[in-house]
Amino acid sequence: MWLLNSSIGKKVVMSLTGLFLILFLTFHMSMNLVAIFSAEGYNAVCEFLGANWYALAGTAVIAAGAVLHILFALWLTYINRRARGKDRYKVSERPKEVEWASQNMLVLGIIVVIGIALHLYQFWFKMQFNEITGILPEVNPHDGYALIAETLGNPIMAVIYLVWFAAIWFHLTHGFWSAIQTLGWNNKIWLSRWKCISNIYTTILCLGFAVVAIYFGFIA
């Protein structure tokens, strides 16, 4: 299977799962914004995406995408480190054309994963998971608004979330166009366009997330 045993194949898996996760983030961000305008509206969304079969199926697919993305990242990184050889450069300088993020995707990815773990514990665990298992009877799984207000109401937590979004921003500014490049949809004209689109899209996405954190942490 070429997706598993060729370097480009593995990268295609990374790209497709990555793009899929960006799509997921876009929906997630749009949903979050609702919380700023209307608590009821937000809770309605939470209920809609509760323990319903389609929401559960969706969650499973997203989880699979994320797991694949992470596993392939680790696999590829292992191969790449081996390809680098045993001796490392004593002096190494990053050329100015090279984005910092592009050479630190794994580190950024790890920060993102830690953030996800925290986020899942603080929200998903108390909402969808709680709804299915009833593990935390004192928490109303459909009152997402209250959860946000409580969690992000703590300015320290809001700052932690903002740092997380920054890591996501760095990860995606490279990841977005890089995925397109890996899929081969690139040429001399589109290279700079994709990079530009990638920056704009990621910035809008992360701003959307950040606005909610700032609103609940420092304004509401």
Partner 1 sequence: MEKNINITLRIWRQKGPKEKGAFKEYSLQNISTESSFLEMLDVLNEQLINNGEDPVVFDHDCREGICGMCSLYINGHPHGPDEDVTTCQLHMRKFNDGDVITVEPWRSAGFPVIRDLMVDRSAFDKIMQAGGYISVNTGGVPDANAIPIPKANADEAMDAATCIGCGACVAACKNGSAMLFVSAKVSQLALLPQGRIEAARRAKAMLSKMDELGFGNCTNTGACEAECPKNISITNIARLNREFIKAKLKD
Residues near partner 1, by CB under 8 A: 2, 6-12, 76, 79-80, 82-99, 102-103, 105, 174, 177-178, 181-188, 191
Report, in Å, the least distance between residue 90 CB and partner 1: 6
Nearer to partner 1, 121 or 185 (CB): 185
Whole-number Å distance between alpha carbons of 165 and 91: 32
Q: Which is nearer to partner 1, 11 or 69 (CB)?
A: 11
Give min distance, CB of 217 to partner 1, in A: 34
**Amino acid letter, 62:** I
Least Å distance, CB 88 to partner 1, is 7
Give whichever of 65 and 109 is closer to partner 1, judged by the CB atom: 109
- The upper half-sphere exposure of residue 120, i.e. CA atoms within 13 Å in the direction of its Cβ, equals 11
Tell me which DSSP letter residue 40 carries.
H
* Amino acid found at 18: G
C-alpha 21: how far from chain center:
6
Cβ closest to partner 1, residue 29 vs residue 105: 105
Cα–Cα distances (Å) from 183 to 13, 45, 140, 215, in that order, read 10, 34, 43, 38
Shortest CB 26 distance to partner 1, Å? 22
* CA 138 distance to own-chain centroid: 29
